[in-house]
Structure 1
Amino acid sequence: MAIVLMILLISLLLGSVPIFIALNLAVLCTMMIFTDMSPMIMIQKSFGGIDKFALMSMPFFIFAANIMVAGGLSERILKWTRSLIGSTKGGLAYTTELACMVFGALSGSSPATVIAMGKMLYPELVKQKYPKGFALGLIASSGSVALLIPPSITLIIYATATGTSVGELFMAGIGAGIVYGLATMVYIFFYARKHELAVDERSSMGEILKNTKEAVWSLLVPIIILGGIYSGVFTPTEAAGVSAVYAIFVGMFIYKEIDLKKLYKICVDSAVTCAQVLVLVTGAQAFGWFLTVARVPQTVTESIIQNIHSPILFLLIINVILLIVGMFMEGIAAIIILAPLFYPIAMKMGIDPVHLGIIMVANLSIGNFTPPFGLNLFVANSVTGVSISKIIPAVMIFVLVSVGGLLAITYIPDISLLLPRLIYH
């Protein structure tokens, strides 16, 4: 039964069938062949999968992110970061990475970060005569950090799939996101010195203060979200609602870049995005349920535990699997399908579920810009106008650099777990 299920799923995916249809159709066909269960059970499991409290925060975070992109918050963050570090050697490259980290904390979306930052920064990188390959690789890769830095939609999906605390995952994502971003910054440091990259004119204290004043409304978003969760003022779901209301206020009344007509369009776009994610979740929940019926998680768990006794080796295997999966599958779909398989094994090996979640999301962050089908490659193509065939060679060094950050996150658990332990235990 399990073999037929997987063959059907892989065949449908290779046939370019949409993922949510492939998941549901594989389950339905296998049920009809091997069991006498009513298809109504699959429907109940599908919709039961989205009837979870943790998922309530997702529509608000998506809505808030879209408001921030349209409301001018990204532009002000860019000006602020550039005034702070633009005058160092390779300063515009540092600005790109840091701006993506900050904007990732606002949007929680990797493609949105590439779009928002790439449109403004790629022309500037070319203008300052940065090597084109370096600029392309940097733009395509830097946005991936948004999957780790809270509020991350992918972390919310992992929490839903495994029952792990969203708050703890968010806190863990701070340390992991910083280390992930620092790996790229270390590479920029050596690259800038080797290639004598251009520098911006040093900003005056007046310019820095002016840009800080303009950006402070944007920078308050992650402070409100994480500060509110940390202090116990509100839950992650309530934090999502507060961030959406705050973003509307800033976009409409402070920066005044959103009117009612634009707000309506943002609402529609956010609803479409949310529906796309949730319909995928329903299919994956049905698939995960049927995997359990076919005893796949139990069989895989028993097999791995009998043959692999080292958590270090197990984590290495997870990294290899996820890096390969990330080349072909979008992060949310991969989390929903694979988290129920890895989670019980990790628990038996004594691996913290929060640490496991961060490792999985870090892998899929890299998958976002790994050839051949990393989503950010196609987003960077649309933003820069450069062909995919030229972007792919440019990102390969950034893939290797990010894998270095991934290994640090994997084998130094305190990078992820220090904050959750301090706050929640």
Structure 2
Amino acid sequence: MTIAVVLIFLMLLFVGFDVGFTMVASSYISILTGVREVNGTVMPLQIVAGVDKYVLVGIPLFILTGEIMNRGGLTERLIEWALSLLGHMRGALSQVSLLTNLLMAGVSGSGAADAAATGRIMIPAMKREGYNEGYAGAVIAAGAMLGPIIPPSVPMIVYAAMANVSVIRLFLAGVLPGILLFVGFVAICAMQPKKNSGYCRPKASLAMRGRATLVALPVLSLPIVVLGGMRFGIVTDTEAAAVAAVWALIVSMVLSRKLTAGGVYEATRDAGISAAAILFLLAAAGPLAWIIAESRINLQIADAISTISVNPLIVLIVINLLLLLVGCFLEPLPAMIVFLPTLVPIGDNLGVDPIHFGMIVLLNLMIGMLTPPVGLLLFVSGAAGEVSVAQIIRRIWPFVLWSLVVLIAVVLIPGLSLWVPQHVG
């Protein structure tokens, strides 16, 4: 790819051109202006190759599961269960929001979907109890960040497809980092001043907790069904996504009876729209990845980064700084699609386990979802709770700081991401 094409790519992104169309346009210009002649049929072939991966079938199915849960009243069941456990604690509603997002993360795989689902319910509730609205939005945004880290995860599926690694091993690698993030976020909420702590409810009796658990049990069992089925070889990762969607559909229509035929249509429509946007990006990345490989620009970038130091840790720090910067301006999926073809070979050359490297990439880009100017979760939380994004930004920094601490720990201690896959996967 020539310098001119790279500049065109960056210019189109800067003026707000869609990332997918930018990749297609840049690839086509590169083919037209290339030094050696390339048959134009390579474009449609590489576009098809970009999505011709069986593992990607799981993306629309996991998104559909989340949409069904939101419309079938299953999110409310999780909130009531979390409230029965944590309602007596300081900052009860913020703690409930985080626990609900942790459980939602084990089902939907999408941070944006989790933020929209819980934000519509929890942010107004927190505001009614006197919580600062910016803080309420920040709690929802931080909790929703767990969605792509705790399995299952749509970005993990994309990474696994692009880096050719095991989806189930990558899913399991997110368990410990996700728990660390959750514990730190809970501690941040517990240390908030009284004006951000609402009021404490009476401690629920064991009978009340038992009833709430029984009502929420069909939802609580869903992550166990998904991960357990994959772990013991009962279903593949794609079949597990289908099982999750069918399970959520049955629970929503038969047990909660809140999901109508119209709701099924709306959930399917919205899931299709979201999945189409993701898969279009992957398709558009096909010819771009091919051109990068053909021009060997990825090897040149890898060589440039590698010459910074012979110490693998220094090179990893440079990669982390690059990804943190990229995450401030690009959403995770476009960033992965653009940069993974270059970064994955660098990780291989450094001798970094591809699962460990995948968690490093994902954590960096998920932190970007909490930071301006793009910060997708900031905008989704603000829209869901009708809160100014500027107010959320002022309150998000303690959560970002803890996320950076977890990132550093994962980089320095590979076992945090590799222990579970090695002993369970």
Q: Is contact 2:133-2:387 (8 Å) kept?
A: no
Q: Is contact 1:183-1:404 (8 Å) kept?
A: no
Matches within 5 A, 1:85-104: 85-104=86-105
Q: Does residue 20 of structure 2 align to residue 20 of structure 1?
A: yes
Distance in 2, Cα, partners of 1:307 & 1:269:
45
Q: Residue type matched to 1:253 in 2?
A: V
Q: Residue type matched to 1:146 in 2?
A: G
Distance in 1, Cα, partners of 2:258 & 2:196:
39
Q: Residue type matched to 1:181 in 2?
A: F
Residue 174 of structure 2: SS of its match in structure 1?
helix
Residue by residue over 1:286-342, the C-alpha shift from the partner in whole angstroms, topping out at 9 and shown as x without a partner, is: 211111111111112222233322222222222211111111111111111111211
Mark the CA change 1:259 to 1:136 in structure 2 (over 3 Å): closer, same or farther. Answer: closer
Distance in 1, Cα, partners of 2:92 & 2:275:
36
Q: Does residue 421 of structure 2 align to residue 420 of structure 1?
A: yes
Distance in 1, Cα, partners of 2:412 & 2:146:
19
- After TM superposition, give the deviation of residue 53 of structure 1 in Å: 1.6
- After TM superposition, give the deviation of residue 68 of structure 1 in Å: 1.2
Distance in 2, Cα, partners of 1:183 & 1:389:
23
Distance in 1, Cα, partners of 2:92 & 2:150:
22
Residue by residue over 1:117-152, the C-alpha shift from the partner in whole angstroms, topping out at 9 and shown as x without a partner, is: 111111222222223332222122221110111110
Residue by residue over 1:75-100, the C-alpha shift from the partner in whole angstroms, topping out at 9 and shown as x without a partner, is: 11111111111212222222111111
Q: Residue type matched to 2:29 in 1?
A: C
Q: Is contact 1:327-1:371 (8 Å) kept?
A: yes
- After TM superposition, give the deviation of residue 243 of structure 1 in Å: 0.9
Q: Does residue 166 of structure 2 align to residue 165 of structure 1?
A: yes
- After TM superposition, give the deviation of residue 197 of structure 1 in Å: 5.5
- After TM superposition, give the deviation of residue 194 of structure 1 in Å: 9.9
Q: Residue type matched to 1:57 in 2?
A: G
Residue 364 of structure 2: SS of its match in structure 1?
helix
Matches within 5 A, 1:268-287: 268-287=269-288
Mark the CA change 1:307 to 1:323 in structure 2 (over 3 Å): closer, same or farther. Answer: closer
Residue 39 of structure 1: SS of its match in structure 2?
coil
Residue by residue over 1:260-307, the C-alpha shift from the partner in whole angstroms, topping out at 9 and shown as x without a partner, is: 222122222222211111111111122111111111111122222333
Structure 2 equivalent of residue 199 of structure 1: 200
Structure 2 equivalent of residue 325 of structure 1: 326
- After TM superposition, give the deviation of residue 423 of structure 1 in Å: 2.6
Q: Does residue 32 of structure 2 align to residue 9 of structure 1?
A: no
Q: Residue type matched to 2:161 in 1?
A: T
- After TM superposition, give the deviation of residue 390 of structure 1 in Å: 2.2
Bigger mean CA deviation after superposition, 305-314 or 160-169: 305-314
Structure 1 equivalent of residue 130 of structure 2: 129
Q: Is contact 1:322-1:363 (8 Å) kept?
A: yes
Structure 1 equivalent of residue 411 of structure 2: 410
Distance in 1, Cα, partners of 2:375 & 2:264:
30
Distance in 2, Cα, partners of 1:309 & 1:182:
36
Residue 382 of structure 2: SS of its match in structure 1?
helix
Structure 2-normalised TM-score? Answer: 0.96
Q: Is contact 2:130-2:195 (8 Å) kept?
A: no
Q: Residue type matched to 2:140 in 1?
A: I
Residue by residue over 1:99-130, the C-alpha shift from the partner in whole angstroms, topping out at 9 and shown as x without a partner, is: 11111111111111111111111122222222
Distance in 2, Cα, partners of 1:327 & 1:362:
13
Q: Is contact 2:115-2:144 (8 Å) kept?
A: yes
- After TM superposition, give the deviation of residue 412 of structure 1 in Å: 1.7
Percent sequence identity is 31
Distance in 1, Cα, partners of 2:192 & 2:65:
36
Q: Residue type matched to 1:254 in 2?
A: L
Q: Is contact 1:368-1:374 (8 Å) kept?
A: yes
Matches within 5 A, 1:23-422: 23-34=23-34, 35-191=36-192, 198-422=199-423
Distance in 2, Cα, partners of 1:329 & 1:95:
30
Residue 49 of structure 1: SS of its match in structure 2?
helix
Residue 373 of structure 1: SS of its match in structure 2?
coil
Structure 1-normalised TM-score? Answer: 0.96
Q: Which runs of 5+ in 1 are unaligned?
A: none
Bigger mean CA deviation after superposition, 127-136 or 360-369: 127-136
Distance in 1, Cα, partners of 2:98 & 2:62:
22
Q: Which runs of 5+ in 2 are unaligned?
A: none
Bigger mean CA deviation after superposition, 276-285 or 307-316: 307-316
- Structure 1 residue runs of 4 or more that deviate by more than 4 Å after TM superposition: 192-197
Q: Residue type matched to 1:9 in 2?
A: F
Q: Is contact 1:179-1:409 (8 Å) kept?
A: no
Distance in 2, Cα, partners of 1:108 & 1:391:
23
Q: Is contact 2:92-2:197 (8 Å) kept?
A: no
Q: Residue type matched to 1:342 in 2?
A: L
Distance in 1, Cα, partners of 2:155 & 2:118:
20
Residue by residue over 1:168-201, the C-alpha shift from the partner in whole angstroms, topping out at 9 and shown as x without a partner, is: 0011111121112222122223335897653222
Distance in 2, Cα, partners of 1:126 & 1:157:
36
Distance in 1, Cα, partners of 2:368 & 2:308:
28
Distance in 1, Cα, partners of 2:341 & 2:325:
18
C-alpha RMSD of the superposition: 1.6
Distance in 2, Cα, partners of 1:341 & 1:263:
40
Mark the CA change 1:259 to 1:131 in structure 2 (over 3 Å): closer, same or farther. Answer: closer
Mark the CA change 1:63 to 1:202 in structure 2 (over 3 Å): closer, same or farther. Answer: same
